[in-house]
A and B are shown apart, each in its own frame.
Chain A
Amino acid sequence: MNILWLQSGGCGGCSMSLLCADTADFPAMLKAGGLELLWHPSLSLASGAELVALLEACRDGRQRLDVLCVEGALLRGPQGSGRFHVLAGTGRPMVDWVRELAQAATHVVAVGSCAAWGGLSATGANPTEACGLQYEDDRPGGLLGEAFVARGGLPVVNVAGCPTHPGWVLDTLMALAAGLLTREDLDPLNRPRFYADQLVHHGCTRNEYYEFKASAEKPSDLGCMMEHLGCKGTQAHADCNTRLWNGEGSCTRGGYACISCTEPGFQDPGHPFHRTPKLAGIPIGLPTDMPKAWFVALASLSKSATPRRVKSNATADHLVVAPAVRKTRLK
């Protein structure tokens, strides 16, 4: 299965993250997974006129195109002209290239939240009129329109994240190559379910602090970051704390809140990223699937039952009280 990978309004970080894939031989892993890079901005030799010829061949059907991967938001401005990104050497807006190539491709994959929804590139006043391939934030549409279906029968597959985990991208591409990605494997936002049906909360090392509502108050504290520091891990769809990042990492393990970067609109939370919005002292963003009354009751109960160890460690940057060692065998 061949792949053409293009970048537009973004930082290129999803490509850089991809190269962190956990493998001893990256090109060999691609090959073994049935993936052939027709062209990739960081990895291919072809440049300039060679690439333009390839794009024209894909567009005109002279070159088979199995997967079009787009990284970065689609910049429609100014005034819908697309001139905020004119593809070098072609004099044509990138949005025009993407529209045409999407028609020619068997599958279209949005790599990262910018390509999926607009993402960080669309934050605030969105001066570049950035949008995703088939969404603008959580509204279907985007560059290709709500009705778009690629030749292979799937809508744009949204591998959202900022950046994407290399495993999300590779598992998606390998599933497509094996013919194992169907509509049923996509969630209501067209994200692959294998990672989007998890919550960042799952596997979080701060779960004992969460259970007792023993909360971090400042950066580097070990406690749960939901109550004060803006953490959305109990609501955000992703497997970041079970499929770890760069070895043993994740945002919460790195000492900072989950900002729900896989969700449309995460870039404009309506509050400072690292401050939890509250109503009458209760966080507005409650854990997914949890009724508010239950949360309030459980929180007040668990707060009153917090062990001294958990409470002390929550506001320290290292363990100040270790778990007790019992004098009898564990029962």
Chain B
Amino acid sequence: MSTRLVVGPFNRVEGDLEVRLEVADGRVVQAHVNAPMYRGFEQMLAGRAPHDALVIVPRICGICSVSQSVAAARALADAAGLEVPVNGLHAVNLMLACENLADHLSHFYLFFMPDFTRPAYAARPWFGEALRRFAALAGEHARAAIAARQRWFELMGTLGGKWPHTGSVVPGGSARAIEAAERLRLLARVRELRAFLETTTFAAPLEEIAALPDEAALQAWHAADPLRGDLRLFLTISADLALHALGRGPGRTLSYGAYPQPGGTHALAAGLWDAATGALEPLDLRTITEDSTHAWLAGDGPRHPAQGHTEPQADKPGGYTWNKAPRLAGRVVETGAIARQLADGQGLLRDAVARHGASVYTRVLARLVELARVLPMMERWLAALQPREPFCAPEHLPDDAEGTGLTEAARGALGHWLRVRHGRIAHYQIVAPTGWNFSPRDAAGTPGALEAALVGVPVAAGESTPVAVQHVVRSFDPCMVCTVH
């Protein structure tokens, strides 16, 4: 005998989200994920001048706006056959990293940790400490994190004029050249966040966190002082609530590769990590498809985004969300910081995922490790800037052209597919990270990553908005406004 639970609205996610659960014997037996809003960006882009995309697409998302800009700029650069100068690569990477790290910080302090201050946990030994640090709009560390984030985003004032919705990211690189004195100010500002992370978040040097080789080393580091710093408190809570066993992902994770470097490599490598075989497989972008069988969108089976199509059909039988079902070679994948760290071969994450799979615990751990790894990279990119050398290449976009723009947003793999005809956008398709993670069922009835991860999650008697379900949902750091572009 199962009961049905409709859970929503979720907050502390970006945008609106509803989850429909079948519950039996105190566990979720089936989940359907509904992205309950339609926005129509792919329809709105058709017919526009190609560069109008640089104004329109960042406004898909207020939290991953630079990521959308980067994907559009890369699609246009690809269509124009453009090489970005080294300064341009670094400047755009700095903007993207600024946004991605800020998003990780917001996720941990504002979106994810406050759930452990719920009365349901009042009897746990760590509760008082969680309340003191993470209570919504009151916790000491949550407040300090908002202040640190505000100072951090002043990087964007200099690098990109403003955040969100910067216009500095262009196909040729960055429209905002950085002078030598500005570089020094930017470095000083990066070190401010380093100080916050090394004092409050990790209570350890970033390099020490980034170098943790495996879970045994992490556990030894944790045991040395179990409440010192917020990563250790998270590990204490995670162990007590067995978050390593909660919200298991599909076992395959996708990264397009983050932060391209001169010479064509990525600072964080691309690839498909298969936890079952423990192997990194190369990506075949031709095998990406989207299927709208269970979306309120017209469709005739899986299509590659270069041939994709978006047309709302609010009354479509079988539809239960505005999100299509993306698949890689027909299979469900998960994307996000965990995918980037696995593809890049980070020791701790590879070891933790080998033991527990992608779970609430490993997803959150991956974001924190990424904070510790990427901030020092930003220091190096700033040092590598060559003031007075070009930041932006001149550009000529043909009237008929096609391009693909891939990047890694904080939440994972983001792709734009563009076709220009007669000097106008003829086709624009976007596959967003949470589109992958919060996918509905496909034509074969295979549930998406979150839908599968929710199966088995405990629901206590009388819970209308089950707290364990909230942990699983928020462990993905969903961005619904991108999903329903």
State the A residues within 8 Å of B (CB).
Answer: 7-17, 19-28, 37, 39-52, 75, 78, 81, 83-90, 120-121, 123-128, 162-163, 218-220, 244-257, 259, 272-275, 317-318
CA distance A87 to B60 in the complex (A): 19
CB pairs A–B below 8 angstroms (22 shown): A10-B481, A11-B62, A11-B481, A13-B164, A16-B62, A26-B143, A47-B465, A48-B9, A48-B10, A51-B9, A75-B38, A84-B38, A85-B16, A85-B37, A87-B36, A88-B10, A88-B36, A219-B392, A245-B162, A249-B160, A253-B157, A255-B176
Question: When chains A and B are docked, how far (Å) is the Cα of A283 from the Cα of B248?
Answer: 58
A17 near B62 (CB under 8 angstroms)? yes
Residue of A nearest to B49 (CB): A272
- Which residues of B have CB within 8 Å of A46? 11
Distance between Cα atoms of A167 and B345 in the complex (Å): 43
> Contacting A273 at CB < 8 Å: which of B51, B110, B176?
B51
Judge whether B165 and A162 touch: CB under 8 Å: yes
Contacts of B282 in A (CB 8 A): none
CB pair B55 A259 closer than 8 Å: yes
Size class of B's contact patch? 35 or more
Q: Which residues of B contact A252 (CB under 8 A)?
A: 161
Please indicate the chain B residues that have their CB under 8 angstroms from the CB of A120 in the complex.
Answer: 56, 59
A163 touching B62, Cβ below 8 Å? yes
Decide if B388 touches A127 in the complex (CB within 8 Å). no
Q: A8 to B9, alpha carbons, bound, how many Å?
A: 12
Q: Look across to chain B and name the residue whose beta carbon is closest to the beta carbon of A51.
A: B9
Question: Chain A contact residues: over half helix, strand or loop, or mixed?
Answer: loop
Does B205 sit at the interface, judged by CB under 8 A? Answer: no
A19 to chain B, nearest CB (A): 6
Instruction: Answer yes or no: B6 CB below 8 A from chain A CBs.
Output: yes
* Known A-B contacts A13-B63, A254-B168; A42 and B147 likewise in contact (beta carbons under 8 Å): no
Q: Which residue of B lies closest to A119 (CB)?
A: B59
Query: Contacts A9-B37, A10-B62, A48-B7 known; A318 to B388 CB distance under 8 Å?
Result: yes
Contact, CB under 8 Å: A88 / B39:
no
Which A-chain residue is minimally distant from B13 (CB atoms)?
A41
Docked pose: A61 CA to B337 CA in angstroms: 44
Contact in complex: A43, B36 (CB < 8 Å)? no
> Is B62 a contact partner of A255 (Cβ separation < 8 A)?
no
Q: Are A44 and B11 in contact (CB under 8 A)?
A: yes
Which residue of A is nearest B50, CB measured? Answer: A272
Q: How far is the CA of A120 from the CA of B60 in the complex (A)?
A: 9
A20→B154 CA distance, assembly (Å): 9
| Known contacts A45-B117, A127-B40, A254-B166; is-contact A272 B51 (Cβ 8 Å) | yes
Complex Cα gap A245–B470 (Å) = 34
A85 to B39, CA, bound (A): 9
Which of A87, A125, A273 has the largest number of chain B CB atoms within 10 A? A273
The answer to whether residues A11 and B65 also contact, given A89-B9, A255-B175 and a CB cut-off of 8 A, is yes
B47 interface residue per 8 A CB criterion = yes
The B33-51 residues at the A interface (CB cut-off 8 A) are: 34, 36-40, 43-49, 51
* A246 in contact with B149 given A12-B15, A28-B143 (CB within 8 Å): no
Query: Which residues does chain B contribute within 8 Å of A49, judged by CB atoms?
Result: 464-465
Assess whether A89 is in contact with B44, with CB atoms less than 8 Å apart: no
**Does residue B112 face the partner (Cβ distance < 8 Å to A)?**
no
Assess whether A249 is in contact with B157, with CB atoms less than 8 Å apart: yes
> Could you tell me if A251 and B161 are in contact, using CB atoms closer than 8 angstroms?
yes
Which chain B residues border A89 with CB–CB below 8 Å?
Answer: 6-9, 18
Tell me the nearest residue of chain B to A222, going by C-beta.
B177
Cross-interface CB contact of B149 among A19, A52, A259, cutoff 8 Å: A19
A24 touches B465 (CB 8 A): no
Q: Indicate if the CB atoms of A8 and B37 lie closer than 8 Å.
A: yes
Shortest beta-carbon distance from B79 to chain A in Å: 16
Assuming the A-B contacts A19-B146, A219-B170, are A42 and B111 also in contact, with contact meaning beta carbons closer than 8 angstroms in the complex? yes
By CB atoms of chain B within 10 A, which of A13, A23, A51, A126 has the most? A13
Give the docked Cα–Cα distance between A41 and B479 (Å): 13
State the Cβ distance, B383 to closest chain A Cβ, in Å.
Answer: 18
Asked if B308 is an interface residue, CB under 8 A from chain A, the answer is no
Q: In the complex the two chains form, what is the Cα distance from A257 to B160 in whole Å? A: 12
**Contact present for B314 and A78 (CB under 8 Å):** yes
Chain A CB within 8 A of B17 CB: yes
Closest residue to A11 on the B side, CB-wise? B62
A88 x B17 contact (CB < 8 A)? yes
